[in-house]
Amino acid sequence: MSNKLPAGRYYIGDPCYVISGSEWSEFLDPYWDVGGFGGVFDYDGLPVCAFQTQYGDGCYEASNGAMLGVDAGMIGAVPMELVKGGDLALGTEWEFDEPFVCTRDSDGRLHFGSFSVMTGDEEDYCDCCGERHD
């Protein structure tokens, strides 16, 4: 499967807050199958993406200013069609107008198209432009 997700409205945050109960273990099976730090996989007939955070659980600031709570050590992009309740306030909703690429940098920065979340140390980044210092 590619690292792209289709356009649409997504919950960005820890999937454990919007996929719960017996469905959570069903979500984790394909997540672990992509190996390493996560990636794009199929869940309940739709592509989703989830990546491990650099430092596990906590609270991470997203590029839109939202604070994302993490309790399962991951942040992902879950299509709103799969969200059947839970605590949306611990993540954020984001509309993607076109297909978008999902990646995880080795320093823990997660990218969902132009939306990003730094889950590692920010000290190596410029406060003005966000680019990595050399």
Domain ranges of the chain: 4-118
Structure tokens, 113: 């198209």
- Residue 35 pLDDT greater than 80, yes or no: no
The sign of the torsion formed by the CA atoms of 58, 122, 50, 65 equals positive
With cut-offs at 50, 70 and 90, classify the pLDDT of residue 43: very high
The whole-number pLDDT of residue 128 equals 45
Mean pLDDT, residues 77-90: 92
Within 8 A by CB and 6+ apart from 13, the residues are 68, 69, 70, 75, 76, 90, 91, 92
